[in-house]
Structure 1
Amino acid sequence: MTHPRHRWWRRAKRAAFAVFLCIAAYLIVRAALSIDWQEVRKVLADLSASTIAIALGLTALSYLLYTGYDVAARTYAGHHVPTPRVMAISAIAYAFALNIGAAVGGAGFRLRMYAREGVTLGRITRVIGFCVATNWVGYMLIAGVLFAIGTVVPPPDFPLRAFGLGSGAALRAIGVVLLACAFAYFVACHVTHGRVYHVRGHHFRFPTPRLALLQFAMAATNWTLIGLVCAQFLPQVGDAQVIATVLLASVATALAHVPAGIGVLEAVFIAMLGHRVPPAHLVGALLAFRACYYLLPLLIAAAGYAWLELASRPSSTSPSVAKQ
């Protein structure tokens, strides 16, 4: 029988999520009605070849760095898939995760591709858990620093001010909390390394402190590269402010569960930077960012996945029957 406190907590989470979706929908509709779409097309047409080239180069660096998550996860999980194949699996899963969601893209495609390499289900889940942890501990580090130093101050009409979450002081406090969480993770890796924890039939352990430092370095750098890709299309805004806004938008996207964060990303940027950059310019910049960082890699990933499916030999071990 479900405890009344648990039922209350579930209802509270549903209510909070509903409020969040309403706010996001309001921001999206308000932004769409205020945008001059002819101006958006002009912004896209005026992009220089050098800007696009730099953005594509940074995108390639970001995806290359992301493949390091899975390479490091191989040490943590203890499988023996060759490095080039691990990097291909990682890049493909990343592109699909960004465009169709982490559960299907990041986890689902990894399960499929690693299983074809003969990796057991237990090790695959450890790879997935390690990569997810890497992504978010790096987020906590870079977002914690940028928020804590006051890189972004929401405009006076920011919708969440009514809830006490839209002030510079609130963001600085959130930054401090994020840094504390990142530090707590590293301490846990140092203190508890070697211990195995069992939770609801699953077991896990924290990585070594050296692996934890590698997680922080890779993910914090990758989040910075993502922000710099976007910043190429918004030269009128400082790089640090664009990176911090990308970080805020990424959380909103994760909460909304909208594939590729369509509309949510744009709404957050307009809410945070619309007082400095015309909405049409923001939308044009974000469309260019999506084309470079989301759509082009997705096309390449789709082709790469098709090649892996054709080139890989069916494994005798599938995730449905593998153990360990």
Structure 2
Amino acid sequence: MLGIAFVALVVVLVVRKLAEVEWAEVWVTLQEYDYRTLTPAVLLVMLSYFWHSAFDLLGRWYARHRLSSPRVLVIAFVSYAFNLNLGALVGGLGIRYRLYSGAGLSGAQIASVYTIGVVSNWIGYLALLGAVLAARTVVLPVEWGLNATLLQIAGFALLGVVAAYLVACAKARRRRWTVRGHAFHLPPLRFAVMQCALSITNWLTISAIIQTLLPSSVPLLVVLGVVLIGSIAGAVAHIPAGLGVLETVFVVLLGDRVPHHALLAALLAYRAMYYLLPMLPATVGYFLLEARGRRASTVEPTA
């Protein structure tokens, strides 16, 4: 019941905030974007997809499979695009399982690749959110009822979680566990550092996309903080792609710095470039990988 009440509260807040927007001004702002703004934003989108796809390269080492790097990157790209648009169950797991199983990976290997991707993404997220909260980079509205000192303490606690993970990877004696028949082992410290570095770089790149689309000069670290808070709010609300939630968080936290219509125009352009635009090559890539898998399955083994 609490979860339903929270989602209902979020929906009401989103509707109220969006109802205050002059949508004609949003449309005008969107039309004013030119190649000098859109070109670097699109390049940053491509870079972010590469960083995120590289999680599966880490997963390849962890799962000890031998697919080529290009094929791994294509599968990861396709899965990520579908994940953003159709949800984690269909895109992040379902599409990835189908494509990797078609390439010959076992269920255990696919689970390992997926787990590494999730852990990598969230370990970097926790590091950045911890730093943002600890440094008080973003000031939350008083009406949210969240004590600034407690949030700062929470930030240091999140940094402690990341540090504990790194220390465990470096020093833990017991490195293997079995959960429901699946074996997991702690990676070495170098691997864990690469996880953090890739994830942090990706979250910074995503924030840079939005910063590029904003008309005024908002510091990257401030945009990053709002992106991180909006992402966790969208995840808690269980709204697909955080639609409307991220926009509302931006309006609430940056509405005193940037006009509301400009914020929403930037976020709509971001969603179009980051969510919708990659779906075309991802769909083509999916069918090409499916066709390749079917051709491979029809080849008879020779003695």
Please tell me the TM-score bracket, short chain as reference: over 0.9
Q: Is 2:243 the counterpart of 1:262?
A: yes
- Residues 114-170 of structure 1: CA deviation (Å, up to 9, x unaligned): 00000000010010001000000011112211221111001344xx22xxx3x4434
Q: Which residue of 2 aligns with 1:241?
A: 222
Q: Is the 8 A contact 2:215 2:262 kept in 1?
A: no
Q: Is residue 232 from structure 1 mapped to residue 218 from structure 2 by the alignment?
A: no
Q: Which residue, 301, 306, 316 being the options, matches 2:282?
A: 301
**Equivalent pair of 1:234/1:285 in contact (CA under 8 Å):** yes
Deviation at 1:46, TM superposition (A): 1.2
C-alpha distance in 1 between matches for 2:208 and 2:39: 13
Q: 1:277 offset after TM fit, Å?
A: 2.2
CA positional deviation for 1:102 = 1.5
Aligned 8 A contact 2:60 2:113 in 1:
yes
- Confirm or deny: 8 A CA contact 2:7 2:238 kept in the other structure: no
CA distance 1:272–1:80, change in 2 (3 Å): same
Is the contact made by 1:266 and 1:286 (CA closer than 8 Å) also made in structure 2? yes
C-alpha change, 1:272 and 1:187, in structure 2 (3 Å) is same
**Residue 221 of structure 1, aligned match among 179, 201, 204:** 201
Q: CA RMSD in A?
A: 1.7
The alignment's TM-score, normalised by the length of structure 1, stands at 0.87
Counterpart pick for 1:183 among 131, 149, 163: 163
Amino acid at match of 1:84: P
The whole-number CA distance in structure 2 between the counterparts of 1:269 and 1:193 is 44
Mean Cα deviation higher: 267-276 or 224-233: 267-276
CA apart distance, 1:81: 0.9
- Secondary structure at the aligned position of 1:232 is classed as helix
C-alpha distance in 1, partners of 2:231/2:244?
12
Contact 1:118 1:315 in 2 (8 A): no
Deviation at 1:24, TM superposition (A): 1.2
Q: Deviations over 1:237-270 (max 9, x none)?
A: 2211111111111111222222222111111111
Quick check: 23-32 or 86-95, which moved more? 23-32
Name the SS for the 2:183 alignment partner: strand
> Quick one: which of 32, 43, 46 aligns to 2:18?
32
Residue 211 of structure 2 contacts residue 223 of structure 2 at CA under 8 Å; is this kept in 1? yes
* TM-score normalised to structure 2 length: 0.92
Read off the aligned partner of 2:45 and give its amino acid letter.
T
In structure 2, the residue matched to 1:173 is 153
For structure 2, the residue ranges without an aligned partner over 5 or more in a row are 298-303
Listed as ranges, the gaps of 5+ residues in structure 1 are 1-13, 317-324
8 Å Cα contact 1:31-1:279 kept in structure 2: no
AA of the residue aligned to 2:209: V
Matched, 1:291 2:272: yes
How far the C-alpha of 1:286 sits from its partner, in A, is 0.4
